[in-house]
């Protein structure tokens, strides 16, 4: 026997994903926090699939098991870090970078023992990690005066659908379901451009 589903059933199945659930729950948690602090409005401009505005950038050195000599430097986002203070092997290099406490930057190593620099970007029109002309670059397999750009998160696609420069029925429906959920609870819901990135939007919930 052939099995059919009608339009309403098809839409119900399409909506059975975690995106809407997680978006709503994140926003609701922020509302509970803000209301508890005496606020009458909640703004969510990061931290969800639809609003993410601080994606991560990863730069990986091309040299396996790198070692350094003396106290060379690595320059990340305009800040120079001196290496070799705790040793010359990869673990020591990682420790020196992390001990420098650079905003959003964490050093680690890959499964193949290459240096990995992970940068959680700030809200900005560009999401990039800048690698300067550090004297340790050759040993680490990094390129002088280069930039690594984050891959656009899904939030950029949601933004282009919302502002009308692209079309995606699933994303449109997901955003509408979030709006409908909070409006049914009596909240005023607005989507606004995140003017810090100019390529993502933010939720503004008033109560």
**pLDDT tens per residue across span 90-144:** 999 999 999 999 999 999 999 999 999 999 999 999 999 999 999 999 999 999 9
* Arithmetic mean of pLDDT, 41-53: 98
Question: d(Cα 124, Cα 195) in Å, to the nearest integer?
Answer: 9
pLDDT tens track for 59-93: 999 999 999 999 999 999 999 999 999 999 999 99
Is the confidence at residue 4, as pLDDT, over 60? no
- What is this structure's pTM? 0.85
Q: How far is CA 30 from the centre of its chain?
A: 18
Question: d(Cα 29, Cα 34) in Å, to the nearest integer?
Answer: 9
Question: d(Cα 122, Cα 172) in Å, to the nearest integer?
Answer: 27
Question: d(Cα 171, Cα 174) in Å, to the nearest integer?
Answer: 5
pLDDT, residue 6, reads 65
Q: Which region, left, alpha or beta, applies to residue 70 given φ > 0 means left and ψ of -120 to 50 means alpha?
A: left
pLDDT, residue 17, reads 83
Q: How many CA atoms lie within 13 A of 183 on its CB side?
A: 10
* Greater pLDDT, 62 or 7: 62
Question: d(Cα 173, Cα 123) in Å, to the nearest integer?
Answer: 26
């Amino acid at each position: 026997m052939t099995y059919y589903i009608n339009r309403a059933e098809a839409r119900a199945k399409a909506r059975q994903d975690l995106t809407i659930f997680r978006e709503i729950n994140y926003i609701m948690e922020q509302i509970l926090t803000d209301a508890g602090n005496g606020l009458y409005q909640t703004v969510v401009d990061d931290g969800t699939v639809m609003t993410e505005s601080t994606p991560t950038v990863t730069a990986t050195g091309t040299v396996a098991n790198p070692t350094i000599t003396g106290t060379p430097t690595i320059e990340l986002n305009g800040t120079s870090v001196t290496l070799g203070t705790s040793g010359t092997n990869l673990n020591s290099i990682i420790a020196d970078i992390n001990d420098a406490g650079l905003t959003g930057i964490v050093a680690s190593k890959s499964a193949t023992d290459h240096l990995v620099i992970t940068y959680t970007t700030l809200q900005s029109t560009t999401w990039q990690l800048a690698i300067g002309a550090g004297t340790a670059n050759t040993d680490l397999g990094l390129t002088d005066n280069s930039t690594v750009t984050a891959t656009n998160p899904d939030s950029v696609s949601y933004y282009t659908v919302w502002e009308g420069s692209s079309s995606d029925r699933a994303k449109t429906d997901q955003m509408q379901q979030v709006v409908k959920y909070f409006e049914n609870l009596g909240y005023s819901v607005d989507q606004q451009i995140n003017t810090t990135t100019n390529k993502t939007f933010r939720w503004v919930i008033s109560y």
